[in-house]
């Protein structure tokens, strides 16, 4: 999952970035509204954390422009505790949630999890695919209640594939949602991550199919489906 933080307080932006990256998110940040507006027009994110008091272009203008493009990107606005009018305007303009400063990082992370789940089209914290279950809160994957040993990158890759199970995901989409700015990830590296994850998923009856020129698709082993195994939802 990829998050954009638009916040002009560098200390707060750095703290949010570090905390969310430790939780497995790819995080980029900008410090003014014009930069946020430009980036949002050209790149894809799974969540926007938006300070309303941005220089050069206010957070409300950024939000207005975003919704004018018919974007459904989940938006969590940050605002001073006493700016009730701005909070109301932010929600009226299409924000999904807000937090008043100061706030606890643990609460912000909980709201981020809720909004990214909502943006993915589901309310549950569990993504199920046959015998495979992924807990988005604890970021743990299990097969028949036994945890899989996955690296942080493999966890993020699995989440991308699970939220698009049954659909093709190309390398460009994986890079867009897996990596933050300045992080160089080659096509060969993506293939290595896929190979490692594929090997670890084999015992679960879940397979990552490769369609040359199109990308990857998470599927269930037809033998297990025919045998009535793995009754979880895709």
Q: Encode pLDDT of 107-146 as tens digits.
A: 998 899 888 776 555 445 678 888 899 887 778 899 988 9
- Residue 234: inside a domain: no
Domain for residue 155, yes or no?
yes
What pLDDT does residue 5 have? 97
Residue 233 domain-assigned (yes or no): no
What would the pLDDT profile of 157-178 be if each residue is shown by its tens digit? 998 898 888 889 888 888 877 7
* 11 plus 111 within the same structural domain: yes
Shared domain for 87 and 110, answered yes or no, is yes
- Whether the pTM exceeds 0.85: the reply is no
* C-alpha separations of 208 from 2, 64, 158, 192, 199 in Å: 22, 39, 10, 13, 9
Question: What's the pLDDT score for residue 115?
Answer: 87
The verdict on 143 and 115 lying in the same domain is: no
Residues 205 and 198 sit within 8 Å (Cβ to Cβ): no
* Full residue range of the structural domain in which residue 192 is found: 126-226
Using the 3D structure, point to which of 119, 143, 178 is the last residue of a domain.
119
pLDDT, residue 85, reads 82
Segments of the chain with pLDDT less than 70: 81-82, 118-125, 181-182, 221-234
Are residues 179 and 111 located together in one domain of the fold? no
Question: Are 101 and 143 members of one domain?
Answer: no
pLDDT value for 234:
43
Same domain, 46 and 113: yes
Structure confidence at residue 114 (pLDDT):
83
């Amino acid at each position: 999952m990829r998050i954009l933080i638009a916040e002009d307080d560098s200390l707060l932006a750095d703290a949010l970035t570090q905390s969310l990256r430790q939780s497995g998110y790819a995080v980029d940040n900008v410090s003014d509204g014009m930069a946020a507006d430009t980036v949002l027009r050209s790149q894809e994110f799974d969540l926007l954390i938006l300070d309303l008091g941005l220089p050069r272009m206010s957070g409300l203008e950024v939000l207005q422009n975003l919704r004018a493009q018919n974007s459904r990107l989940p938006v969590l606005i940050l605002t001073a505790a006493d700016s009730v009018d701005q909070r109301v305007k932010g929600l009226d303009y299409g924000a999904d949630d807000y937090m008043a400063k100061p706030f606890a990082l643990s609460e912000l992370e909980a709201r981020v999890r809720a909004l990214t789940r909502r943006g993915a089209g589901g309310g549950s914290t569990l993504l199920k695919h046959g015998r495979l279950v992924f807990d988005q809160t604890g970021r743990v994957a299990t097969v028949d209640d036994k945890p899989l040993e996955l690296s942080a990158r493999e966890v993020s890759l699995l989440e991308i594939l699970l939220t698009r199970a049954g659909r093709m995901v190309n390398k460009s989409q994986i890079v867009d949602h897996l990596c933050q700015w300045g992080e160089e990830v080659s096509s060969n590296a993506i293939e290595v991550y896929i190979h490692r994850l594929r090997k670890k998923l084999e015992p679960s009856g879940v397979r990552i199919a490769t369609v040359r020129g199109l990308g990857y698709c998470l599927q269930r082993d037809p033998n297990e489906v025919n045998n009535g195994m793995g009754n979880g939802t895709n």
